[in-house]
Structure 1
Amino acid sequence: MVATVTATNDQPGSSVKAGRVLILLDGSPLSLAALEAAAEIALARNTEVLGVFVEETNLLRAAGYGFAREVGGSSGLARPLEAAALEVRLQALAEQARRSLKQTMARRGLSQTLKLCRGRVAEEVLNLVQPDDLVVLGRVGWSGIPGGRLGSTARVLLRQAPGDVLLWTAPGHRRQNRVVVLLNHDQGANHRAVRAGAELAHRSNQPLSVLIRASSEGEQEVAQDILRYMEREGISARVRWIPVASAGAALRAMQEEGASHLIVSRTCSVFADQEADTLLAELNLPITVTP
């Protein structure tokens, strides 16, 4: 059984505590799209932007082997992976990242810094990020296909970053018009996810749905607490109880809500499901994961 309650109010909402916005840049088309999203968030929060470009050491090491090959993304042809050529390409990508970051932020009057690193991407980002920061990255880089499986960097940051992580992909069709927050009934980390949902709903001028996974319909006081908070924040919201089943059941509920953006805590029980990676990969929409 589903319980749905709605609250509306026209007063302006408040935002979550704003740290920096860190944007991972690798020159791929999706990372450039994520850059635009990061800029809009930084503008709304009036906060600092740090661009991060990492020269991947594993790739550089691989180029040292004579048998190493790379496959063209469009041609599908294999060619030698040469260290000198790779260094030149990485320098060009870093310069492109610098220009893109500067131009994107200049259009909005925002300050920005580019951090150049060499190492493993996830490790370098984890060394830079702070608990109040938001990390923004494309769901996949050059090596992946939009809408396909999550990249390895994304998987590590989702599980280890101390702050919020936004996996960016192009928004879906117009029917998708609600911010969706997925919660556990007894989840201690609910508050941060709910606050992040309220901020996003207010910034995007979209209604919000809170889906609470529980073995049975929970206490109405839980729903009422959430709705009272949303009313104070000026957010049109509804709360819906959904059964604790497979990750696929949660996916169907999000599709029924017309989710345009998912916000979920990494402590949510859906991540304990063996289908969790498949769920995140199949959701071809932006996903914010909170601690």
Structure 2
Amino acid sequence: MDKSEQELAIKRILVALDASTHSLAALEAAASLAANLQAELIGLFVEDENLLHLAGLPFAHEFNSSSAVRQPMSSEKMERQLRLQASQARRALQVAADRVEARWSFRTVRGQVTASVLAAALEADLLAMGRVSRPLSRHSRLGSTAREASTRTRRSVLLMQHGRNLNYPVLVTYDGTPAARQAMETAVKMAQASGDELNVLLLAQTRDAADQLKEDLSARLGQRGLKVQFHWLP
């Protein structure tokens, strides 16, 4: 790997963990990528200060999902629940990382969830998270944190949903920008690890511009031992 490829490589993958199954799906996908990219997994659990504030209000109650019994809520009880969830998240990260022999670290912070995730993402090259944290229906929509993270961060974002897996062959869009070059480097590593071909969608307004992108990429990828299929997407 030359110097430019090293600069574009994904070395640190931040996984935003919570109690949802979507979060665990993001963890599994991140672990798979970490194995392919030889990257470090960084787990983050945010103790939601808004939940703690609400739990401390005198009228706060919770409903038991199995018995539908209403019970009073308190800050102390919420603290215990969050500590338990953080412990479970750390254990899940450890198991996933050990399975693929990836380096890992974990930390818990307290604050607003979106702001905390965005701040932590600045230290990583890729942010992986569930599409939603706690779905209220069977129809999974993009959660507020996932939506904010995908639109406000300058890092690449991987959004996963429970029941979905990373699939091959690898497909990547490319327009020659720095972000596209980083995405291309990640896609190359994934294709090399899986042994599948790499499909590249060239984003260009004209055929000549697409041909130029293809020529530049062909020269860069020629020594990587990949079968590459190019497609022009005007």
Which band: TM-score by shorter chain?
A: 0.7 to 0.9
- Alpha-carbon spacing, 1:140–1:146, altered in 2? closer, same or farther (3 Å): farther
Contact 2:174 2:181 in 1 (8 A): no
TM-score by length of 1: 0.65
Aligned-residue offset at 1:128: 2.5
Contact 2:40 2:104 in 1 (8 A): yes
Aligned-residue offset at 1:95: 1.3
Normalized per residue, the structure richer in helix is 2
Contact 1:140 1:146 in 2 (8 A): no
- 2:181 alignment counterpart: 191
Task: Work out the percentage of aligned pairs sharing the same amino acid.
Answer: 33
Match of 2:220 among 221, 229, 236: 229
User: How far apart are the structure 2 equivalents of 1:89 and 1:25?
Assistant: 14
- Alpha-carbon spacing, 1:236–1:67, altered in 2? closer, same or farther (3 Å): farther
Contact 2:15 2:41 in 1 (8 A): yes
Match of 2:91 among 80, 95, 99: 99
User: How far apart are the structure 1 equivalents of 2:130 and 2:113?
Assistant: 13
- Alpha-carbon spacing, 1:132–1:235, altered in 2? closer, same or farther (3 Å): farther
Contact 2:14 2:124 in 1 (8 A): no
Matched, 1:122 2:101: no
The count of corresponding residues between Structure 1 and Structure 2 is: 225
Match of 2:200 among 210, 213, 217: 210
User: How far apart are the structure 1 equivalents of 2:72 and 2:190?
Assistant: 42
Which structure would you say has the larger RCO, counting Cα contacts within 8 Å and 6 or more residues apart?
1
The letter for the 2-side match of 1:148 is S
Aligned-residue offset at 1:100: 1.6
- Alpha-carbon spacing, 1:213–1:79, altered in 2? closer, same or farther (3 Å): farther
Partner deviation per Cα, 1:148-191 (whole Å, 9 max, x = no partner): 3212221222233343222223127xxx643222344x756432
Matched, 1:54 2:46: yes
The letter for the 2-side match of 1:136 is A
- 1:238 alignment counterpart: 229
- 1:134 alignment counterpart: 126
Equivalent positions of 1:12-161 (< 5 A) are 16-68=8-60, 79=70, 82-83=73-74, 84-130=76-122, 133-143=125-135, 148-161=140-153
User: How far apart are the structure 1 equivalents of 2:79 and 2:62?
Assistant: 14
Contact 1:227 1:239 in 2 (8 A): no
The letter for the 2-side match of 1:102 is Q
Aligned-CA RMSD value:
3.1
The letter for the 2-side match of 1:192 is Q
The letter for the 2-side match of 1:196 is T
Structure 2: gaps of 5 or more residues: none
Contact 1:69 1:78 in 2 (8 A): no
Contact 2:15 2:44 in 1 (8 A): yes
Secondary structure of 1:114 counterpart:
strand
Aligned-residue offset at 1:96: 0.8
Contact 1:227 1:238 in 2 (8 A): no
Structure 1: gaps of 5 or more residues: 1-13, 244-291
Aligned-residue offset at 1:78: 8.4
Contact 1:117 1:124 in 2 (8 A): yes
Partner deviation per Cα, 1:55-87 (whole Å, 9 max, x = no partner): 111222222334556577x76958467134322
Secondary structure of 2:57 counterpart:
coil
The letter for the 2-side match of 1:221 is Q
**Greater mean deviation of Cα atoms: 93-102 or 155-164:** 155-164
